[in-house]
Structure 1
Amino acid sequence: MPADLAVIGLGHLGLPLAQAAVTAGIDTVGYDPDPRPYAELRAGRSPVEGALTASEVRRMLSGGFRPTTDAAELGRVRTAVICSPTPLGPDRTVDLTALGDAARALASRLRPHTTVLLESAVPPGTTETFLRPLLEEGSGLVAGRDFHLACSPGRLDPGNRTRTLANTPKVIGGLTPACTESAAAFYGRLTDKVVRARGPREAEMTKVLETNFRHVNIALVNEMAVLCHDLGVDFWDVIRCAETKPFGFQPFRPGPGVGGHGVPVDPGCPPPGGRASGHPLRMVSLAQEINDRMPSYVIQRCATLLNEHGKSVRGARVLLLGVTYKPDTADQEAAPAREIATRLMDMGAQIGFHDPHVLDWRVRERPVPRADSLYEAAAAADLTVLLQQHRTYDLQGLAVKAQLLLDTRGATPAGAAHRL
């Protein structure tokens, strides 16, 4: 059965996009070569933690959304949006394997006048030097003449119910002006505002700037938090004062590490077939180095606190609170909790966890005991570590119950706990 739209990749980008399209009355098919998302969606469940609720999935299905593993469905659509995952590989460059697979699956079925859009986070130049050749070689069509091609990087904030696709401006950069306008016509049905970039590279670089802006600023406050602790300065009070400045300052807060789907990207590392700029972003590299050190710093603080209270890490009962990468969501993508738990286990600690959004948590494929009663578990633990400040946590009450509390988020009242 033909559809107006195919969303390729049913992950944290593709699912919300498909939901918005179905809500807008667009006949939508969702393609993913992995059978697991298909099975989960057909069963009325979200295959991605924190992306959609079960009721939202059921509404999508009742609205006509059709998940599939059959790539033949891609040849019957007017618009195809590629939302394939692009994680960092072992060498910290972006892995475009899934994007390449999606492009080949689409290319062999691509029809003239189709609009192809790329939402995956990629290095600048990927749309033109990687995606375009795959689509043209596999279809025999020419981008910009026979079909439209544009980049519109994903901008959603997982778990944010205030900022949705509808009220978040969409940046679009087409291969040609006609490509840009075709993409704008599609996204104009889903969002209140469309921002036209000069081309695909400018759209791709917009995502790079936005992501690196976050990582660099988090690195700054992480480094200052360590410095202020050594100097005996309450850095959380410093932030409270600084954020009263009505211009020239945006508050960021330190934490145990940086998680999430937006990975820092150095555009000096080109996509396959692209050209290196010769100008690596040294600040981004340094920011990543600083942020990567934060789990180790948390472990150091844990060991110091235990030693100050006559205990060692070996044999200590440590309760980790909040194992997701951001508050009030089940999304664990790149959350520092797993690395912290691993290192504590290596040092001989007995680890338990509590998270209102995560019922089962595994480290090294082994289940970590989950606390049923938060207060009882905190009272029994030698050390409780707040890694994520979910809204449901009564931190003042927790500070009273816990034997020893390390707050890595600065969420507890001043003086109620040891803060990062």
Structure 2
Amino acid sequence: MGKSGLNVVERAQLLIDKLNQKTAVIGVVGLGYVGLPLAVEKAKAGYRVVGFDIQVEKVDMVNRGVNYIGDVVDSDLKQLVDSGQLRATTDYSFINDVDAVAICVPTPLDVYQQPDTSYVESSTREIAKHIHPGMLVVLESTTYPGTTEELVKPILEHSGLVCGVEFFLAYSPERVDPGNKYFHTKNTPKVVGGVTEQCLTVAATLYRNVLDGEIHEVSSPAIAEMEKIYENTFRHINIALANEMAVLCNRMGINVWEVIDAAKTKPYGFMAFYPGPGLGGHCIPIDPFYLTWKAREYNYHTRLIELAGEINNAMPQFVVDKISYILNFEAKSIRKSNVLIVGVAYKKDIDDYRESPVLKIIEILKELGANISYHDPYIPSFKYKGEKYESIPLSGELIQAADITVITTDHTNLDYDLLGNRANSLLDTRNAMKHSNKPKGYYLL
């Protein structure tokens, strides 16, 4: 029996009833690329939702109905805020009012390539101050196996409440693919693992009431944590293979893109991954190293993951070397050459440049004395290592003034024919010019 006189089954059923009747109040901690879309979907499902964030600017924007996340429909956010279904705050005392809360904060790597769990820890401590019997807590942040039970659970139990008896705890990894036109928060299948059977049932009930995708239940939070790392490690390693093939094909004079197109005609046993200037974003360059770090605790060295990281991290330098090779044939050096970078975002059709390999390419080119200009329709400006860069409108004059143009992000709405008709030399790291006119000096990665 818990402190309120209910046993755990009764307490779980009470919360399940509130979830099914949509009378539960839901909290979301962290209003970024994962948290805000999740908060919007929960509000659209009929729940009253309170979003928590330490950034006053984000909270103010949400409360004004101003969207800042690509995967959220502007009108949806505005309507939900105006109707009172969704609001945001920096005051964690409002956790007292919620029946369930999801933690959607960043888990970056520190300078030693080790997981930085400080955001998860600080959020959990704030929740622990206001946790109450019958409440559900779900960690969604991508992290190493064991985080939910080894880190989050003890902090919450420091409140005096017992996990699985007086409150419920689960892990359900975020699955977000920015820019994906088909899969988004609402229709992507969800994996859920609870600390106890009741924890799992309660958490799965919440997601089934919010999402259209399948809710796949697993036997523990550690399984759910590991499967998320496995997803991203799978991509990390296969992209590394594609990049290594690109480097080798470059030396052999073989078109790696045509090789991949031919290979993917096989209807079984092959999945196409593509090379590029390097890895970027919030997941693929980072998440596999959570597992590398955790594996050391078990005296195991994840050689394949680390080797893949070396290959992917070497791609920006490979791009710069190829730029140097191309300029050399025109009797030019990188020093004082005008280099036009087309695309800074880490993938096409998004405004996110976190961990973008393009930043490293620009850094190396600057160190070698190149004059850098860039165009990206999604990123009008950015700061990197203390220097501010501003996007220049793509024009024939801009392209012709460049000694070499480098396509580093294959945004859909770029005028590739203009690039092909006006570029002096063009290095295409994404095979973006496949169906467009190409300049005489055209080179593939």
Which band: TM-score by shorter chain? over 0.9
Q: Does 1:67 align with 2:91?
A: no
Change (3 A) 1:386 1:248: same
Q: Does 1:311 align with 2:335?
A: no
Residue 175 of structure 1 is matched in structure 2 by 195
Q: Which amino acid aligns with 1:210?
A: E
Q: Does 1:357 align with 2:378?
A: yes
Is the 8 Å Cα contact of residues 3 and 29 (structure 1) preserved in structure 2?
Answer: no
1:307-328 per-position Cα deviation (integer Å, ceiling 9, x unaligned): 1111111111111111101111
Q: Which amino acid aligns with 1:315?
A: K
Q: Does 1:370 align with 2:391?
A: yes
Between the aligned residues of both structures, percent identity stands at 39
Partner Cα distance (1:45, 1:338) in 2: 29
Partner Cα distance (2:260, 2:25) in 1: 49
1:68-89 per-position Cα deviation (integer Å, ceiling 9, x unaligned): 0001111110100000110111
Unaligned residue ranges in structure 2 (runs of 5+): 1-22
Is the 8 Å Cα contact of residues 74 and 109 (structure 1) preserved in structure 2?
Answer: yes
SS of the residue corresponding to residue 265 of structure 1 reads helix
Residue 265 of structure 1 is matched in structure 2 by 289
Alignment of 1:26-41 (within 5 A): 26-41=47-62
SS of the residue corresponding to residue 108 of structure 1 reads helix
Using the TM superposition, give the Cα deviation of residue 51 of structure 1 relative to its aligned residue in structure 2, in angstroms.
4.6
Q: Which amino acid aligns with 2:187?
A: N
Residue 236 of structure 2 is matched in structure 1 by 215
Using the TM superposition, give the Cα deviation of residue 47 of structure 1 relative to its aligned residue in structure 2, in angstroms.
4.6
SS of the residue corresponding to residue 196 of structure 1 reads strand
Is the 8 Å Cα contact of residues 322 and 388 (structure 1) preserved in structure 2?
Answer: yes
Alignment of 1:176-255 (within 5 A): 176-192=196-212, 193-255=214-276
Residue 184 of structure 2 is matched in structure 1 by 164
Unaligned residue ranges in structure 1 (runs of 5+): none
Alignment of 1:85-100 (within 5 A): 85-100=106-121
Change (3 A) 1:300 1:146: same
Residue 135 of structure 1 is matched in structure 2 by 156
Partner Cα distance (2:432, 2:370) in 1: 25
Q: How many residues align?
A: 414
Residue 403 of structure 2 is matched in structure 1 by 382
Residue 403 of structure 1 is matched in structure 2 by 424
Partner Cα distance (1:161, 1:237) in 2: 25
Q: Give me the TM-score of the superposition, normalised by structure 1.
A: 0.95
Is the 8 Å Cα contact of residues 54 and 90 (structure 2) preserved in structure 1?
Answer: yes
- More deviation, 114-123/352-361: 352-361
Is the 8 Å Cα contact of residues 379 and 391 (structure 2) preserved in structure 1?
Answer: no
Among 14, 25, 28, the residue aligned to 1:4: 25
- More deviation, 366-375/216-225: 366-375
1:7-37 per-position Cα deviation (integer Å, ceiling 9, x unaligned): 0011111011011111111100100122231
Residue 38 of structure 2 is matched in structure 1 by 17
User: Bigger radius of gyration, 1 or 2?
Assistant: 2
Partner Cα distance (1:332, 1:55) in 2: 25
Partner Cα distance (2:181, 2:261) in 1: 26
1:80-119 per-position Cα deviation (integer Å, ceiling 9, x unaligned): 0000110111111111000000000000100101010010
Moved over 4 A (4+): none
